[in-house]
Chain A
């Protein structure tokens, strides 16, 4: 089973709202990722958690706050976003170690008004 699930599928929020994106995997993977993808562009890495610890932050603005409550769950907390943050947010997971294949979830389509 190579399934990563994400909720919600779509999210519309105002610039003053606080919302969270959720990601879950049950493949026993110990690395989880957040990516942002704009239209007609490849995914851009935002954060990497390895063994529930934040190991990579690609200089993402603090209005994005990741959290990894346990080895199966990954959250992305959103606060005071800008319209240019509208994008497809993708979660991915992989076995431990940087060489392994990353499997993506279906994504959350975020629109910031």
Chain B
């Protein structure tokens, strides 16, 4: 079993729709959770961090964390073509080591 698993893509959504990305992790000692966006040929860009159970909203992005279910998700509302990218879920025990999922590629159709 992989440490961090993301829903397999690619995920294709129409412009203006909600894109829903899921991530599960196996290490119950994980403390901090991050979502990175990576455009093709570019480096990962941090878009959300979440540390406690519940929802965290930042603009069109909402991260949700449920430690009991070992689940973290990212919702992208009002999806735009510029949201087309690979989204990486990353978790850590707060020991400097990030465990990344394989990534989910999102394509927003105009």
- CA–CA, A56 to B45, complex, Å? 23
Known: A42-B88, A42-B103. A102 touches B43 (CB 8 A): no
Give the interface SS of chain B, mostly helix, strand, loop or mixed.
Answer: loop
Known: A55-B96, A98-B93, A101-B34. A42 touches B46 (CB 8 A): no
Residues on the A chain within 8 Å of B80, using CB: none
Q: Is the CB of B43 within 8 A of A88?
A: yes
- The minimal Cβ–Cβ distance linking B24 to chain A, given in whole angstroms, is 15
User: How many chain B residues have a CB neighbour from A under 8 Å?
Assistant: 23
B53 close to chain A: CB less than 8 A:
no
Q: Is the CB of A104 within 8 A of B44?
A: yes
- The minimal Cβ–Cβ distance linking A92 to chain B, given in whole angstroms, is 9
- Which of A56, A90, A101, A103 is the one whose CB lies under 8 Å from B96? A56
Known: A99-B32, A104-B45, A106-B42. A41 touches B92 (CB 8 A): no
- Which of B31, B43, B101 is the one whose CB lies under 8 Å from A42? B101
Nearest A residue to B95 by beta-carbon distance? A98
A97 close to chain B: CB less than 8 A:
yes
- CA–CA, A99 to B95, complex, Å? 7
Residues on the B chain within 8 Å of A99, using CB: 31-32, 51, 92, 94
- The minimal Cβ–Cβ distance linking B93 to chain A, given in whole angstroms, is 7
B98 close to chain A: CB less than 8 A:
yes
- Which of A97, A98, A104 is the one whose CB lies under 8 Å from B43? A104
A21 close to chain B: CB less than 8 A:
no
Residues on the A chain within 8 Å of B95, using CB: 98
Known: A43-B44, A105-B43. A98 touches B96 (CB 8 A): yes
Q: Measuring CB to CB, which residues of chain A are less than 8 angstroms from any residue of chain B?
A: 31, 33, 41-43, 45, 48, 50, 55-56, 88, 90, 94, 97-99, 101-107
Q: Measuring CB to CB, which residues of chain B are less than 8 angstroms from any residue of chain A?
A: 31-32, 34, 36, 42-46, 49, 51, 88, 92-98, 100-103
Q: Identify 15 residue pairs between A and B in the complex whose beta-carbon atoms are under 8 Å apart, listed by A's number.
A: A43-B100, A45-B98, A48-B96, A48-B97, A50-B96, A56-B96, A90-B43, A94-B96, A97-B94, A99-B94, A101-B46, A102-B46, A102-B98, A104-B45, A104-B46
